[in-house]
A = this chain, B = another copy of it.
Amino acid sequence: MKKLLILLSLVCGMIFMINAQQDKIRVIVIGAHPDDCDGDAGGTAILWAKMGHAVKFVSVTNGDAGHQEMGGGALAKRRMAEAMEAGRRFGVEYEVLDNHDGELVPDLKVRKEIIKLIREWKADVVITHRPNDYHPDHRYTAMLVQDAAYMVIVPNIVPETPPLSTNPVFLYTQDNFQKPNPFHPDIAVAIDDVIDQKIYAMAAHESQFFEWLPWTAGILDKVPKDDKSRLDFIAQRYRGGVSDNIKETLVKWYGDKKGSQVKYAEAFEICEFGRRPDEKEILRLFPMLEVK
């Protein structure tokens, strides 16, 4: 009898979820490597997820080059497992595509994979890298997502997957590169409330934050052993702060008082190739923003 009740509740739950989906904001974050989405948009993702919205992280490469000692399929499998764990910690779905790390090229095949993913997720918002960035995989991921924009509404492209009825809002994540244009923070989200959860979720990528990235920085011997210190280690290096222009944007969206007190934030720039949201739509898509 108990099992029947469980089944019943599952069924009801499903029905409830289906209804609830009507109002869900659906977000897909597309990064080059398993861990890119996490650092760039992980805090905002947690906030969306906590409010019941649907977030998916996609890594366009399988990360099979990101280590000083491992490589290939062996590394790809480890990173896949890390990504699954990170997804659980963030409260999002995580998918890793089978493209070699460090060898991504913006070809039609990957473009179509991305079109399909955006459509299947019925995305309202698509977030990715800017097309200028130090890592070629980041640049080509951005180019692929740009090349998917608009195409997601064209029925003759990837015809087996129904097109979206409107072009989503496409957003770029923050970076520090100045040419040809510096990043412009159209939207900034305060993540103070979830910064610890973000750091904890990022820590799932052990091969990256405790091995590969410290190795490239020459500080592999500085990585602590115990869990608590390891979270601090990530926090110190990747928690980020709030630069002046981000603060300005925070004030715009949160009002003077709250905006100027934010310690940790994630910022986004609106890509010209997707739908251009007005302020009202931004507030609908980013319900964690508090109008001043």
Most buried by B among A73, A136, A177: A73
Flag A5-28 by CB within 8 Å of B: 1 or 0 each.
001100100000000000000000
Contact A75 to B80, CB < 8 A, known contacts A108-B105, A179-B181: no
Contact A102 B8 (CB under 8 A): no
Interface range, A side: 35 or more
Contact A160 B77 (CB under 8 A): yes
Bound Cα distance from A69 to B70, whole angstroms? 10
Contact B73 A159 (CB under 8 A): yes
Contact A134 B96 (CB under 8 A): no
Residues of B within 8 A of A64 (CB): 71-72, 156, 159
Bound Cα distance from A260 to B77, whole angstroms? 52
Bound Cα distance from A126 to B155, whole angstroms? 32
Besides A71-B73, A72-B72, 8 more A-B contacts (Cβ < 8 Å) are A67-B156, A70-B70, A71-B159, A73-B156, A74-B74, A102-B151, A111-B136, A179-B181
